[in-house]
Structure 1
Amino acid sequence: MTHHFGVLIPSTNTTVEIEYSRLLPPTLQVHVGRLGKGDNTPFSPSRPEDVAYQAKLLGTAKVEVVCLAQTSASLFDDAYDATTTQQMTAGAGVPSLTSAQAIGQAVQALGVRRIALVSPYSQEVIGRAQQYFESRYGCEVVAMEGFGATDSYAISGISAEHATAAFRRIDRPEIEALVVPGGNFPTLRCIADWEQQFQKPVITTNQAALWAMMGVMRVTTPLPGVGRLLAQMPG
């Protein structure tokens, strides 16, 4: 059986479609809607009217779930997740979630609490991420490092080696999982290698979003090669 899922992404994102379309089996089909920026500040939430419209269009493709793959949008407004998921569900007529929610749920499903955050974000944004995951999902952020990307274009150009080097700098025994927020940061091909090298689970935006959507669609078939989360399908 083929399952169809919808993803909303900022118009500047050039990673989500590539990672999902190239790395997923034919039984999982992604359909994407693009969103304009709400203002001119870096990492600002997308236009709410675009979210509503694109979610409605994805609903006409008969997707089973919709996810907003824009983790940073959830970090600055406590009501953002609830408001935006209500908007997406109303438009598409199916369950919805944000990628920030997916990451938090993945941490909990793996049974870990003490995490490290490594992200392309600026220090301000990664600090917001720390506050978000600690206050909403009971995480303890033991260490964090941001690459200081100024916008989405800069994120897509960062190599995976940046994350590998950051992991080496900040890893310590008490860290139970490495978390990499940033949907425009290409990571799916690297997760298995990172987990083997550092001997702990790695959770990334696009991986966690896919895991959460598979859960909504009741797809339990493991996906090898993209990390423990999708290989074990906990939760």
Structure 2
Amino acid sequence: MTDTITGTTHDRTRYVNSMGPRGVIGIMTPGPNVIVENEMMDMRPAGVINAVDRYYVPNQSIDADEDWAIIMKHVAANLDESVRRLNEALIDHLILGMSSQSFMGGVKGSFALQEHLEEVSGVPVTMGAQSAEAAFEAVGARKIALVTPYYPIIEKQAASYFSDRGYDVVHIEGLKCKSIIEVASQTAETLERAVEVADSHKPDAIIQLGTNLHFAQVAATMEERLNKPVFAVGTAIYWNALRKMGITDRYAGFGSLLAAH
């Protein structure tokens, strides 16, 4: 898309943001994804700003793998325009607030997407796949289990990524949600039961994928109950972005990543 209004300019002079002197994080998230936006707002340490852009993805009815494939086509078609809008905020760091896209194409596809987004945005980029890996590395986990809202088409991509990076995926507990909005309706009780099923397969650590699951506090609760690492992917992404920015604040309420690593 090109600017159509005569006289348009794009001033790239950088100033210190008075509300976010430590950094401005751009967050791209799908239009129906209401959870990641608010959870990441809650995670902001003092002096950090989140600039959120909601790119177009339909609240697709999901009954089969093919429906998820349609969602992912919309994501791929709209990411660059989302970056274009966020660039006007002169962001310091870019987050892809949708974990499924970060696994598409396995390891090769994931890192190619990260490289592309960094080229388009001109800033470092943090995504779900690499952030999950960083979380596992932080606690020395090799046997892992996944909790997802997905259908197998996405779960297979995630399992392929982790397997190719040397992890043993011992179980995937998929909720097969019927739309992106239904993902956001999953209760703490439902998610806790899913974690307990995943834990029965004896992983070193458990991670939830699908940023529109309200999981940040569930992860903290289940870590205490199971006495093992349980990560929310949204928390892992935000934690990883902060650490890559050199922000080392530790604080409670979102599980062990932000509290201890």
Pairwise same-fold verdict (TM > 0.5): yes
Retained in 2: the 8 A contact 1:68–1:98? yes
Aligned match of 1:81: 110
State the shift of 1:125 in Å. Answer: 2.5
After superposition, what is the alpha-carbon deviation per residue over 1:114-149, rounded to whole angstroms, capped at 9, x for unaligned?
Answer: 1111111123432332222111x3111112211111
Retained in 1: the 8 A contact 2:148–2:173? yes
SS at match of 1:44: helix
Q: What runs of 5+ residues in structure 2 fail to find an aligned partner? A: 1-20, 61-66
2:120 corresponds to which of 45, 68, 91:
91
State the shift of 1:48 in Å. Answer: 4.0
State the shift of 1:171 in Å. Answer: 1.6
Retained in 1: the 8 A contact 2:44–2:50? no
Aligned match of 2:63: none
2:259 corresponds to which of 228, 231, 234:
231
1:126 corresponds to which of 147, 155, 158:
155
SS at match of 1:200: coil
Compare CA radii of gyration and give the structure with the larger one: 2
Retained in 2: the 8 A contact 1:5–1:64? yes
Q: What runs of 5+ residues in structure 1 fail to find an aligned partner? A: none
SS at match of 1:229: helix
Aligned match of 1:4: 24
1:152 corresponds to which of 180, 188, 195:
180
Letter in structure 1 aligned against 2:172: M
After superposition, what is the alpha-carbon deviation per residue over 1:86-113, rounded to whole angstroms, capped at 9, x for unaligned?
Answer: 3322232111132222112221222111
SS at match of 1:63: coil
Aligned match of 2:17: none
2:96 corresponds to which of 58, 68, 81:
68
Retained in 2: the 8 A contact 1:70–1:183? yes
The question of 1:103 aligning with 2:132 is answered: yes
Aligned-partner Cα distance in 2 for 1:113–1:143:
13
Instruction: Give runs of aligned pairs for residues 195-234 of structure 1, distance below 5 A.
Output: 195-233=223-261
| Inter-CA distance 162–185: structure 2 relative to 1 (3 Å threshold) | same
Retained in 2: the 8 A contact 1:120–1:158? no
Aligned-partner Cα distance in 1 for 2:248–2:94:
18
Retained in 2: the 8 A contact 1:19–1:188? yes
Retained in 1: the 8 A contact 2:146–2:198? no
| Inter-CA distance 129–81: structure 2 relative to 1 (3 Å threshold) | closer
Instruction: Give runs of aligned pairs for residues 132-171 of structure 1, distance below 5 A.
Output: 132-135=161-164, 137-171=165-199
Aligned match of 1:34: 54
Q: Bigger shift: 118-127 or 98-107?
A: 118-127
Aligned match of 2:204: 176
State the shift of 1:185 in Å. Answer: 0.5
| Inter-CA distance 3–143: structure 2 relative to 1 (3 Å threshold) | same
RMSD value over aligned CA atoms? 2.3
Retained in 1: the 8 A contact 2:75–2:101? no
| Inter-CA distance 45–109: structure 2 relative to 1 (3 Å threshold) | farther
Aligned-partner Cα distance in 2 for 1:155–1:164:
15
Aligned match of 1:190: 218
Retained in 2: the 8 A contact 1:65–1:216? no
Percentage identity across paired residues of the two chains: 25
Retained in 2: the 8 A contact 1:110–1:229? no
State the shift of 1:46 in Å. Answer: 4.1
Q: Bigger shift: 174-183 or 80-89?
A: 80-89
